[in-house]
Amino acid sequence: IVGLLGPNGAGKSTTIKILTGFLHPDDGVVEIDNLDVLSNVLEVQSRIGYLSENTPLYPNLSVQSYLKLMADMRGIPRNDQRQLISEAIHATGMEPYLTRPIAKLSKGLRQRVGLAQAILHKPKLLILDEPTIGLDPAQVVDVRNLIAEIGKKRTVLLSTHILSEAQQLCDRVLIINKGKIVAEGTPS
Asked if 160 and 1 touch (Cβ cutoff 8 Å), the reply is: no
pTM for the structure as a whole = 0.90
CA angle in degrees (0–180, nearest 5) for 165-167-171: 115
pLDDT at 64 over 90: yes
Which residues lie closer than 8 Å to 91 by C-beta, 6 or more apart? 116, 119, 146, 149, 150
pLDDT tens, position by position, 3-46 = 999 888 899 989 999 999 999 988 889 999 999 999 999 999 99
pLDDT tens, position by position, 161-177 = 888 899 999 999 999 99
Asked if 125 and 155 touch (Cβ cutoff 8 Å), the reply is: yes
- For residue 107, give Cα distances in angstroms to 10, 32, 44, 133, 167: 25, 30, 29, 10, 24
